[in-house]
Chain A
C-alpha cells in the first residue's frame, strides 16, 4: 500500500514540477487570487474546529497541517 502511495506521490510531484515553468501569472494579474476567500487558510477557525472534530472521531488526522499529538479520547 505504501509502495503504491509512493508511486502516486512521485507522479503528482513530477507532473506538478514539470508544469511549473509555464504556469503562473504576472504580478498584476493576481486580482482574483488576492481575494481573502482565495487564501488557502481562509476561514482558519472553521478549519481548526473541523480538524478537532474529525481528529476526535476518526483514525486519521493531519494532511493540511501537522497531525500532532493529543489523545482524542472521546
Chain B
C-alpha cells in the first residue's frame, strides 16, 4: 500500500516539471542600481521583500508577468514589497518599444551585458527571485505561469508577514 502511495507521489512529482518554487536560502547577490525611485544598491533594500524579475522583449511569456507585477506592487507596496524588473535586451530600443505596449508601473533596471543575470545564474527566461527582509533568496521561479499566480502571491505574503 505504501509502495503504491510512493509510486503515486513519484508520478505526481515527475509529471509536474513546472513545479514553481524552489525553497532555498542563499544570500541574494548584490548589485548597483541607478534608478530614481530606488537606493543605489540591492542590499540597501534590506527590511523590504524584493521580487526580482528578469525579462526581455523577445521572451513571449515575460509579457504575461507584467500585469501581475503591476497589481502586486500596488497591492503590497504599503507592506514593504518592492518589485524590480531587470531587462536583459541587448538593444535598449527594443525594451522601450516593449514597454510602450506593455506598461510597467514598477521600476525597470537595464542589464544589457547580462552581468546581474550571470551573478544569479539564470536558468531560463523569464526568471524571478523572491528575496526576504534579510536579503536571502527564498523562492525562485523559472518561467511565469498564469495559473500559478495565486502561489506566487502566497509566497510574497508569507515573506511580508515574517
Binding site for B on A (CB under 8 A): 26-31, 34-35
Task: Return the chain A residue nearest B86 by Cβ.
Answer: A28
| A26 engages B114 (CB within 8 Å) | yes
State the majority secondary structure of interface residues on B. Answer: loop
CA of A34 to CA of B56, assembled, Å: 11
Binding site for A on B (CB under 8 A): 54, 56, 58-59, 88-90, 94, 114, 117-118, 122-125, 127
Please give 15 more A-B residue pairs, beta carbons under 8 A apart, in addition to A27-B122, A28-B122, A29-B114.
A26-B114, A26-B117, A27-B117, A27-B123, A27-B124, A28-B56, A28-B88, A28-B117, A28-B125, A29-B90, A31-B58, A31-B90, A31-B94, A34-B58, A34-B59
Q: For A26, what are the chain B residues with a Cβ–Cβ distance below 8 Å?
A: 114, 117-118, 122
| A31 engages B56 (CB within 8 Å) | yes
